[in-house]
């Protein structure tokens, strides 16, 4: 056997998982073959056995399925996958009904298929280390646990108790596992695992799984129980409302849980296998595995980071501007142990910025997610000030002031002098080109864009923008800084709107253009939601302020004039400009935009009734399919242009940035994976159709088409 070491000594058979050439153990085909052989050997050695120990030679226990192999599956591979899943389950079933006690020694993480390997044991011993994670994250990848995870977790925790761990992919550590009864014993370190396991084997010569015990009853009751039946009557509708029918995995997982709970254990296993076999070859699963596993790991491993010998971990960071953005940055930094100086034009404004952190930390204390002591320690790390000199000695200073070139230049000149030797300066701008802002710096090579998203405490993405003069070391240090505060960094090159703001603009302006064409605003909003965007384009425009969009438009026109060119505004931009300049509809903060915002307590916003009179057309024709495609294709086309122009240099930055930065639907795998998941030829053909009907925003030049083909991922 190549991936499993089999040893029999003193009546104890030890199966040690050790996949060669891999940092982790996976359910690759070789492992499946080896499991056949190992279990067959156990059956032969049954009479000589006192027990079985499952162990790992890696730093973790078991990582799960071979996802690269999954990415190579074709649509007609479903039946083969079903047979392979059933083969693994047959071996698990033989192991747990061998009549001998089986112990899993969990020295590290056991996720997905790895947790299902652990569940094949009667007794699980884990190292008491909070960083270790167990659980079933398959739904987040468009899959379901299919190697007995759904069936066993449901029978261990009940239909209600298992839902967070199956449908929501909630992970858990050793302590929670012990409290749930999913792990039976904790030890201080890996050295104590085997001894604990052998002691249990000696004390329990006869072992059975709970569901094999004659008087087994499912915790909480079966679907026929009136209390459970009431919940199940509304659960599918609630789930559909949440997924909008775009994510088949949660629905399949719920079905497998409920159907499996009504039949015997072995039949439940087959039900689970059938659902997984259908899902695993679906486009949605492929898209989500590509992005949420492979692309995310590419970023976490630093593939977007320029090579630099040293890792940067800031001790003290200054933030200039204590508004919502600056205050949010200060909170996130302080929560990660970084000493933060929060500077504004007055002490009162700086104090107000720190008060934002106080409110967030108090909410965590109230929810039981933090302690008063932790709250006090976090707040002690934030020093609010009106004095520029208090920034002295910062390793990094981030300006987060209003989007105005002159103001940013003034702040840069004053604050940059306060940096510690070797420190660097960053601008938190969403639209203004970094190369232009760096002109105010005495060291433009140490000037970089670090674009946070609002609200900072909730948004995971940070866009790092390299100006023309920014050197590799500064980009690498910015990358390290972003990771050190628990955010996801992507790296892009300087251009108007960078990547995220540029692509986000196409989404909202395409929605505005639809209104201008006479399409009912409510339909436009529904198209965005049905496509999978978190919010409709008109609501988003209101939240970000129509006046800001017009400010950006005016600035763009001025910049073009300075370069001797003329900027041609899009139909959506022109409509938003009319909303602001003709009708004084500036957005939610101003109390009026595409929506009305009643002041009465509890009153909900509603679309401005005058929109129909101003822009409605009685004879307008539209299809929901066209509207959804326009909103999705427009963003993917613009992303491909960014890739062709060198604004983006990798597909993984594009996909992760579009999902975590601008809310592009997760089921697509991101703006570039949407192209590859659709199929390049099919995408190009549909884009041409849309361009013919709806304008040049959907046109793809030969250069852009070449970039799409060049960056297509291979597995």
DSSP per-residue string spanning 565-617:
------HHHHHHHHHHHTT---BGGGTBSSEE---STTPPPEE-THHHHHH--
Q: Are 42 and 14 in contact (CB under 8 A)?
A: no
Domains of the chain: 4-281 (3.90.226.10), 316-495 (3.40.50.720), 501-646+650-710 (1.10.1040.50)
Indicate the pairing of strand 394-399 with strand 12-17. unpaired
Q: Are 707 and 643 in contact (CB under 8 A)?
A: yes
pLDDT reading at 156 higher than 90? yes
Long-range CB pairs of 621-626, under 8 A, 24+ apart, other chains included:
622/514, 622/519, 622/523, 624/523, 624/526, 624/527, 624/530, 626/690, 626/693
- SS percent in the chain: helix, strand, coil, step 5: 55, 15, 35
Which H helix or E strand runs over 491?
strand 488-493
What are the residues whose beta carbons fall under 8 Å from the beta carbon of 661, sequence distance 6 or more?
453, 459, 461, 463, 490, 500, 504
DSSP-assigned states of every residue in 115-163: HHHHHTSSEEEEE--TT--EE--GGGGT---TTTHHHHHHHHHHHHHHH
Q: Is the dihedral of CA 502, 503, 504, 506 positive or negative?
A: positive
Percent of the residues in the chain that have a pLDDT greater than 70, as a whole number: 100
Q: What is the predicted pLDDT for the residue at 597? A: 96
Cα–Cα distance, 63 to 113 (Å, whole number): 7
Cα–Cα distance, 474 to 439 (Å, whole number): 16
Strand order across the beta sheet in which 123-127 lies = 4-9, 12-17, 51-56, 102-106, 123-127, 185-187
pLDDT reading at 420 higher than 90? yes
- Per-residue buried b or exposed e for 163-173, using 16+ beta carbons within 10 Å of the residue's own CB: bebbbebebbb
Q: Write the pLDDT tens digit of every residue in 439-458.
A: 999 999 999 999 999 899 99
pLDDT reading at 698 higher than 90? yes
| Listed residue (548, 315, 345) closest to 419, CA to CA | 315
Q: Write the pLDDT tens digit of every residue in 541-554.
A: 999 899 989 988 99
How open is the CA angle 350-351-356, to the nearest 5 degrees?
A: 100
pLDDT reading at 159 higher than 90? yes
State the pLDDT confidence band at 571, using cuts at 50, 70 and 90.
very high
Q: Are 197 and 126 in contact (CB under 8 A)?
A: no
The DSSP code for 26 is B
pLDDT reading at 126 higher than 90? yes
Q: What is the predicted pLDDT for the residue at 232? A: 83
Q: Write the pLDDT tens digit of every residue in 298-328.
A: 999 999 999 988 899 999 999 999 999 999 9
Q: What is the predicted pLDDT for the residue at 263? A: 96
State the pLDDT confidence band at 430, using cuts at 50, 70 and 90.
confident
Cα–Cα distance, 95 to 616 (Å, whole number): 68
pLDDT reading at 464 higher than 90? yes
Q: Are 482 and 489 in contact (CB under 8 A)?
A: yes
DSSP-assigned states of every residue in 42-94: HHHTGGG-SEEEEEESSSSSB-BS-HHHHHT--GGGHHHHHHHHHHHHHHHHH
For 623, how many CA atoms within 13 A lie in the half-sphere containing its CB?
5
State the pLDDT confidence band at 372, using cuts at 50, 70 and 90.
very high
Q: Tokens 């050695």 identify what position?
A: 45
State the pLDDT confidence band at 54, using cuts at 50, 70 and 90.
very high
pTM reported for the whole predicted model: 0.92
Q: Which of 243-247, 334-338, 701-705 has the lowest mean pLDDT?
A: 243-247
């Amino acid at each position: 056997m190549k991936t499993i070491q089999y040893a029999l000594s003193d009546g104890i058979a030890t199966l040690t998982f050790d996949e060669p050439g891999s940092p982790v153990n996976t359910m690759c085909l070789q492992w499946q073959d080896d499991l056949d052989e190992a279990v067959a050997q156990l059956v032969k050695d049954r009479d000589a056995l006192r027990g079985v120990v499952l162990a790992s030679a890696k730093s973790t226990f078991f990582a799960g399925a071979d996802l690269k192999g999954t990415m190579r599956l074709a649509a007609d591979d479903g039946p083969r996958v079903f047979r392979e899943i059933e083969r693994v389950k047959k071996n698990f079933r033989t192991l747990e009904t061998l009549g001998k006690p089986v112990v899993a020694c969990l020295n590290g993480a056991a996720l997905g298929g790895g947790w299902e390997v652990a569940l094949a044991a009667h007794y699980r011993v884990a190292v008491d280390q909070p960083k270790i994670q167990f659980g079933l994250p398959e739904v987040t990848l468009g899959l379901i646990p299919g190697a007995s995870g759904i069936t066993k977790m449901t029978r261990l925790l009940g239909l209600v108790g298992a839902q967070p761990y199956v449908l929501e992919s909630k992970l858990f550590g050793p302590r929670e596992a012990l409290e749930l009864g999913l792990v039976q014993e904790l030890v201080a370190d890996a050295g104590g695992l085997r001894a604990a396991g052998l002691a249990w084997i000696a004390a329990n010569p006869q072992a059975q799984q709970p569901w094999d015990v004659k008087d087994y009853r499912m915790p909480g009751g079966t679907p026929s129980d009136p209390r459970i039946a009431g919940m199940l009557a509304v659960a599918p509708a609630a789930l559909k409302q949440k997924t909008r029918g775009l994510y088949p995995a949660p629905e399949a997982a719920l079905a497998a849980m409920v159907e499996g709970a009504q039949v015997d254990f072995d039949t439940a296993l087959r039900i689970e296998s059938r659902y997984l076999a259908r899902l695993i070859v679906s486009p949605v699963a492929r898209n989500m595995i590509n992005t949420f596993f492979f692309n995310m790991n590419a970023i976490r491993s630093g593939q977007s980071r320029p090579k630099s010998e040293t890792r940067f971990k800031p001790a003290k960071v200054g933030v200039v501007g204590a508004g919502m953005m600056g205050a949010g940055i200060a909170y996130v930094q302080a929560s990660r142990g970084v000493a933060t100086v929060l500077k504004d034009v007055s002490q009162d404004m700086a104090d107000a910025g720190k008060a934002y952190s106080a409110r967030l930390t108090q909410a965590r204390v109230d929810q039981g997610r933090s302690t008063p002591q932790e709250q006090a320690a976090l707040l002690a790390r934030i020093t609010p000030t009106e004095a520029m000199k208090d920034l002295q000695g910062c390793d990094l200073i981030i300006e987060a002031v209003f989007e105005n070139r002159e103001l940013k230049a003034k702040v840069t000149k004053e604050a940059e002098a306060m940096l510690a030797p070797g420190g660097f300066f960053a601008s938190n701008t969403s639209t203004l080109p970094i190369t232009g802002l760096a002109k105010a710096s005495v060291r433009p090579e140490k000037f970089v864009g670090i674009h946070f998203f609002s609200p900072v405490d909730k948004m995971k993405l940070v866009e790092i923008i390299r100006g023309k003069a920014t050197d590799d070391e500064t980009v690498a240090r910015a990358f390290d800084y972003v990771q050190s505060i628990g955010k996801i960094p992507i790296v892009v090159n300087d251009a108007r709107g960078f990547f995220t703001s540029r692509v986000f603009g196409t989404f909202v302006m395409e929605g505005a253009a639809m209104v201008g064409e006479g399409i009912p605003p409510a339909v436009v909003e529904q198209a965005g939601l049905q496509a999978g965007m978190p919010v409709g384009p008109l609501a988003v425009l209101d939240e970000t302020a129509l006046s800001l969009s017009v400010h950006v438009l005016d600035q763009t026109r001025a910049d073009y004039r300075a370069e001797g060119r003329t900027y041609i505004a899009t139909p959506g931009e022109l409509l938003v400009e009319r909303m602001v300049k003709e009708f004084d509809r500036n957005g939610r903060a101003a109390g009026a935009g595409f929506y009305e915002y009643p002041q009465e307590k509890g009153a909900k916003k509603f679309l401005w009734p005058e929109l129909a009179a101003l822009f409605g057309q009685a004879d307008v024709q539209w299809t929901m399919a066209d509207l959804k495609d326009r909103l999705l294709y427009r963003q993917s086309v613009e992303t491909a242009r960014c890739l062709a122009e060198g604004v983006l240099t990798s597909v993984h930055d594009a996909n992760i940035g579009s999902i975590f930065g601008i809310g592009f639907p997760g089921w697509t795998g991101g703006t570039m994976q949407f192209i590859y998941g659709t199929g390049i030829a099919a995408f190009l053909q549909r884009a041409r159709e849309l361009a013919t009907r709806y304008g040049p925003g959907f046109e793809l030049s030969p250069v852009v088409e070449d970039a799409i083909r060049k960056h297509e991922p291979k597995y």
